[in-house]
Chain A
Amino acid sequence: MTEDRRQPDPAFAGALARGMTQRRLSRRNLIRYGGATVGTLSFASILAACGGEPAGAPEPGEGPTVDFNAEPGTEINFANWPLYIDQAKDPDTGERINPSLQAFTDETGITVNYNDEIQANASFFGELLPQLQAGQDTGRDIIVITNGREFTALVANGWLTELDPSLRPNFDANAAAWAKDPDFDPGNRFSMAWQSGLTGVGWNTEKVSAPIAKMDDLMNPDIVGTNSVGMITGDMADLVMVNLGITPADSGPDEWREAADWLEMLKASGTLRKFYDQGYVDDFTAGNLAASMAWSGDILYYKIWEDQPFDFGVPEGGALLWIDNMLIPANSANPQGAYQLMDWVYKPEIAQMITEWVLYMSPVGAVQDLIAQHAADEQGELASDLQETADSEFLWPDDALLARTPFARNLTTDEEREEWDSIFIPVSET
């Protein structure tokens, strides 16, 4: 039965399904500008900002402790990004289900309320802030947050549940090396990777005169033309630093200014079109951009599954690795159940189900062979697309690539954040 569900319904796995398999990041911009979302959030955040006593913030802050050996509850509320999990039609009822989660429920009897409500780290963080500051249950047992500012704030304020490292056998056995012990969360005290990806450079092969080999190519009008390069505001400082030979983790204000100078040179070169918060993909697919900083999964999706003339690469100096992390907010109603599920998705056959749908980097290395096997069992275009997925160096980075793809700089104090912002925000606002 489980085996049946794992095979997506043929009608669903066909063209329709592919049309729906849009990467979660490429959708961010649309929703970010949703007035309602942002409006509610600001109100909530303002309320938060002046209500409740903020927790003291040692690093990491003290949160409530949880006995993970206790009996789990019967329900898990799982907040994730849109289109970031496997989907299929239930053969009996015709309803859409998430086979990986269904299998979990079948085995444990715990219901999973999966809600793809996260459209951006910042706005989702803002939504949770009032409850977190008041020390209340946020109504979510698992949330998925990228390493970065919001993640740091959650840790620093004690707003996460510390995990018990002795209770995650699948993670211990199957997690890829890069997913273990990341610098932003030593020993995975609070987080386990959901999916991951690279921030590098994408280009439209019909609009550049040569593939983008290094970041400096982005300011060469002979290669990319004019007004045709996109930069992603949140990641650009780190990507530029990496390509200036600076390790973000070791960087300070001097290095930051060096990166800002490079960005100013880019602006002066006339090739830059725009700084994007998230929406570069729309301009990319509309043909307005010749090249752009890009998230691997976005471009690879269009390249592999939509046969667009796009390509993705890691520039000479390197790229950035980011991880979307599963976290249990403090005061969750069912941390035991949540933790079981977080470990459950580290079973290779479950991780495969998820990755074949979402096409990002799986934190379970064994999935690569499983997808290759699946490709061998299938025929036609599906087989070749699966094979291409299994072969992509950017989905299964080897050690050589990983050595060139560090994490972004983790800004751990308000002073650092302020200094960083004072250097980089003027770059993208003027």
Chain B
Amino acid sequence: MAQDKAEDLALLTATVAGQPAGEPPKRADQFLAKRQRRVAYGILAPGGVYLLIAFIVPLIIVVYTSLQTGGLLSGGYTFTWAFDNYADAFSSSKIFIIRAVVYAGLATLIGILLAYPMAYWIAFYAGKWKSTLFFLILVPFFVSFVIRTVQWNFILADDGVLFGPLKTIGLLPDDFRVLASPVAVVAGLTYNFLPFTALPLYVALERIDKRLVEAAKDLYASRFEAFRKVVLPLSYPGLFAALVLSFVPATGDYVNSGVLGSNRTTMVGQVIQTKFLTEADYPEAAALSVILMLGMLVIALAYAKALGTEDAALAAGAA
């Protein structure tokens, strides 16, 4: 009997893992299909044109710029297939790229550890308060990114509202500080990208059919097993989206390290900014941007492969 149940559970989890299989597309008559396609193109066109102008064209310009040589004071930059820019940019910025990946990775990991239980609880147990609670998570993010980061600077000040009193009562040593350290930068990144982690997780978890969990329990799965074999796999697409949406922008971020860090926390985004604004070395700045972008793409595809869901592949395409 128990044996049967275990087999059924295996079957259920297999079905879950195979999801979303969906039904095969229905055969419609030719005319309708054509019409549908036209409608689809019509719907896609505005977004497509927007992406073309706002994303593809600038991307081409960035790549074009990355292959230029010259100087601002000697007649500007000209296109010369200067692939050296890539070698130069990479060799001089390796450490900043690695640091950015490490910081962003930590921030993403911490973000998921924080957001998953929150999203899970809201999706499964909050009942009619779901939307309200989730909205509350997002409320702080209605404030400008820059203002929020600068406020952290204020809250975390060495003798500020948080640490000042703790130092006065002797809980912290006088020279304790968080600002201008990697801790502050990773904390800032985690906080600033939390909604990008929480939102997709919540959407994925909320979508899960609660009866599947019940079914798993009926089949003698422990709560943990039900979570591991049913809920977790079904939330992969959300998990994947959360990874990509927070890791990728966090890697390129230059605000958090600029405001909360120091020269010991320089990230690649800041290096690109300095190359662009201070050095006016547009080609190398562009080359470094392209390198970073390709790196992110590789990482996103690797995730997609590892998690192996259709949604993940879609999301990778979108990223």
Partners in one complex: yes
Q: Which of B70, B74, B153 contacts A282 (CB 8 A)?
A: B153
Interface status of B45 (Cβ within 8 A of chain A)? no
Shortest distance between the CB of A394 and any CB in chain B (Å)? 27
From B1-9, B16-24, B155-163, B222-230, the one touching the partner chain is B155-163
Q: Which of B77, B175, B180 contacts A50 (CB 8 A)?
A: B77
Shortest distance between the CB of A82 and any CB in chain B (Å)? 15
Report if A46-B153 is in contact (Cβ < 8 Å); known contacts: A57-B75, A287-B159, A413-B73.
no
Which B-chain residue is minimally distant from A226 (CB atoms)? Answer: B175
Cβ of A233: which chain B residues have Cβ within 8 Å of it?
278
A57–B74 Cα distance when bound, in Å, is 6
Contact of A38 with B273 in the complex, beta carbons under 8 Å: yes
From B129-137, B199-207, B231-239, B259-267, the one touching the partner chain is B259-267
A279–B255 Cα distance when bound, in Å, is 12
Interface status of B61 (Cβ within 8 A of chain A)? yes
Contact of B276 with A42 in the complex, beta carbons under 8 Å: yes
From A137-145, A195-203, A297-305, A421-429, the one touching the partner chain is A421-429
Interface status of B85 (Cβ within 8 A of chain A)? no
Which A-chain residue is minimally distant from B79 (CB atoms)? Answer: A50
Interface status of B47 (Cβ within 8 A of chain A)? no
Cβ of B261: which chain A residues have Cβ within 8 Å of it?
274
Q: Which of A35, A38, A43, A287 contacts B158 (CB 8 A)?
A: A287
Cβ of A417: which chain B residues have Cβ within 8 Å of it?
71-73, 279-280
Chain A interface size band reads 35 or more
Q: Which of A33, A50, A156, A226 contacts B258 (CB 8 A)?
A: A33
Cβ of A29: which chain B residues have Cβ within 8 Å of it?
259
Q: With a 10 A CB-CB cut-off, give which of B71, B79, B154 has the most chain A CB atoms.
A: B71
Contact of A286 with B68 in the complex, beta carbons under 8 Å: no
Which A-chain residue is minimally distant from B158 (CB atoms)? Answer: A288
A275–B159 Cα distance when bound, in Å, is 20
Per-residue CB proximity of A396-420 to B under 8 Å, as 1/0?
0000000000000000111001100
Interface status of A99 (Cβ within 8 A of chain B)? no
Cβ of B108: which chain A residues have Cβ within 8 Å of it?
none
Q: A residues touching B (Cβ–Cβ < 8 Å)? A: 29-30, 33-35, 38, 42-43, 45-47, 49-50, 53-57, 120, 122-123, 126, 133, 149, 152-153, 156-157, 226-227, 233-234, 267, 272-275, 277, 279, 282-283, 286-288, 412-414, 417-418, 421, 425, 428-430
Could you show 28 A-B contacts with beta carbons less than 8 Å apart? A30-B146, A35-B145, A43-B58, A46-B62, A46-B282, A49-B68, A50-B64, A50-B77, A50-B79, A54-B75, A54-B76, A55-B75, A57-B74, A123-B277, A133-B76, A149-B280, A157-B72, A157-B76, A227-B180, A273-B262, A283-B153, A287-B157, A288-B180, A413-B74, A414-B72, A414-B74, A425-B278, A430-B95
Q: Give me 10 other A-B pairs in contact (C-beta within 8 A), A34-B146, A54-B76, A227-B175 excluded.
A: A45-B276, A46-B282, A54-B77, A57-B76, A122-B277, A123-B277, A283-B179, A288-B179, A413-B74, A421-B278
